[in-house]
């Protein structure tokens, strides 16, 4: 249901171009038309009040929804680990293509977005090489066209726009400030490896708990079952490359390839091309992949993150529809 049109019938001192206090201190008010002195406007605020509420109503409004979501997404169709540029791009493509799927995004940070709030170092503009501009057009992010690449004037414009679109999908739920601290597995022996497993969901905990298991008594986790997990946990940060490191420690991968030095041209092609299902039930995309395959890093360009997300979504749909 779209929100009702905002009708501010409150003493807002503006003439449509921001506060306009003309020389005799009288100001125009929005929608009323009569001039009003600042003193009169202040006086009117004196009678202003919000509708009544009780604290428990706020608590119930939050907790009722959160625990209903936990119940709904306890069995998800797809879990995406990491709400960085790749994870959000994956969620956008899946949320749009398959409104019938329940998609849970687990993000360790309070703020989703990963490394995509700045373009590089502390510079705000974000570069994406073509053809990633097609993704920006799809999401509705404006940019400057520089020929072989495009520039979004602020990385936060990309991330905030993409995040807003993802959160608007009724079949996508973001659980932020929540860490995946393990993977659910099921035996899936093969001739080559009798100990092979397939991934069947994730093990989660509040991030602050997940980061402090060493200095507090055990606090057991929660779980989400899902036949398909897409891991986009990046290459750095407290949990970087989480899933592929866990695959090594559970002997499902022999070792990590280790991210190579920066080479923009080879890195971006490699990340997109190699986005794939690493073990049955687990697709890996974005910079987490560079830790698996020893791909180069690309530095401050984000086209591969977006298109790795596009590919991860396509791989996921192919796996589901197999
Ligand atoms: O932004 P990131 O780190 O990862 P990607 O792959 O989406 O984007 C990578 C991109 O930002 C770059 O690194 C750029 C292109 N630079 C490259 C270079 O050469 O330096 O997002 C990963 C997200 C973060 O928000 C983490 O908090 C989250 O994943 N995360 C987790 N969330 C839940 N559980 C976990 N175990 C976990 N691990 C990471």
Nearest atom, ligand 1, residue 289 CA: 6
Pocket test for ligand 1, best of 110, 233, 268, 303 (most atoms within 8 A of CB): 233
pLDDT digits (tens, 9 = 90+) for 126-140: 999 999 999 999 999
ipTM of the assembly?
Answer: 0.99
Q: Are 110 and 179 in contact (CB under 8 A)?
A: no
Please give the biggest Cα pair distance in the chain. 88
For residues 175-180, average pLDDT: 98
Percentage of the chain with pLDDT > 90? 76
Average pLDDT score over the chain:
89
Q: pTM for the complete prediction?
A: 0.90
Distance (Å) from CA 238 to ligand 1 centroid: 10
Give residue-wise pLDDT tens across range 7-58. 444 444 444 444 444 434 344 444 444 556 778 777 777 877 889 999 999 9
Mean of pLDDT values over 242-254? 96
Residues with a CB atom less than 6 Å from ligand 1:
81-87, 106-109, 114-116, 179-180, 232-235, 237, 239, 242, 262, 286-288, 297-299, 302, 305
Q: How confident is the model at residue 70 (pLDDT cuts 50, 70, 90)?
A: very high
Residue 276 marked in a binding site: no
| Bigger pLDDT: 76 vs 17 | 76
In this prediction, residue 44 carries a pLDDT of 73
Looking at ligand 1, which atom is closest to the CA of residue 304? 15
What's the pLDDT at 218? 77
What does the pLDDT average to over 284-295?
Answer: 93
309, HSE (Cβ side, Cα atoms, 13 Å): 30
What pLDDT is attached to residue 216? 83
Average pLDDT over residues 287-292: 94
């Amino acid at each position: 249901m779209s929100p009702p049109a905002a009708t501010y019938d409150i003493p807002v001192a503006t003439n449509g171009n921001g506060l306009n206090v003309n020389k005799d201190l009288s100001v125009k008010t929005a929608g009323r038309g009569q001039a009003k002195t600042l003193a009169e406007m202040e006086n009117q605020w004196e009678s202003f009040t919000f509708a009544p509420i009780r604290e428990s109503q706020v608590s119930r409004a939050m907790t009722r929804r959160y625990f209903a979501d936990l119940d709904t997404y306890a069995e998800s169709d797809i879990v995406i680990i990491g709400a960085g540029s790749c994870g959000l791009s994956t969620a956008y493509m899946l949320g749009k293509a398959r409104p019938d799927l329940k998609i849970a995004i687990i993000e360790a940070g309070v703020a989703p977005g990963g490394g995509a709030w700045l373009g590089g170092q502390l510079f705000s503009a974000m570069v994406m090489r073509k053809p990633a501009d097609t993704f920006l057009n799809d999401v509705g992010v404006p940019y400057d066209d520089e020929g072989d690449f495009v520039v979004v004037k602020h990385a936060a414009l990309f991330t905030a726009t993409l995040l807003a679109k993802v959160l608007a999908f009724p079949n996508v739920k973001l659980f932020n400030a929540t860490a995946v601290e393990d993977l659910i597995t099921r035996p899936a022996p093969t001739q080559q490896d009798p100990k092979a497993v397939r991934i069947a969901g994730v093990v989660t905990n509040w991030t602050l708990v997940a980061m402090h298991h060493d200095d507090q008594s055990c606090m057991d986790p929660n779980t989400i079952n899902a036949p398909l997990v897409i891991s986009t946990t990046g290459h750095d940060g407290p949990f970087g490359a989480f899933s592929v490191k866990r695959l090594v420690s559970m002997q499902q991968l022999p070792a990590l390839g280790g991210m190579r030095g920066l080479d923009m041209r080879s890195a971006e092609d490699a990340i997109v091309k190699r986005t794939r299902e690493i073990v049955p039930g687990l697709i890996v995309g974005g910079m987490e992949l560079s830790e698996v395959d020893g791909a180069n890093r690309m530095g401050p360009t984000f086209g591969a993150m977006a298109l790795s997300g596009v590919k991860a979504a396509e791989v996921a749909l192919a796996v589901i529809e197999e």
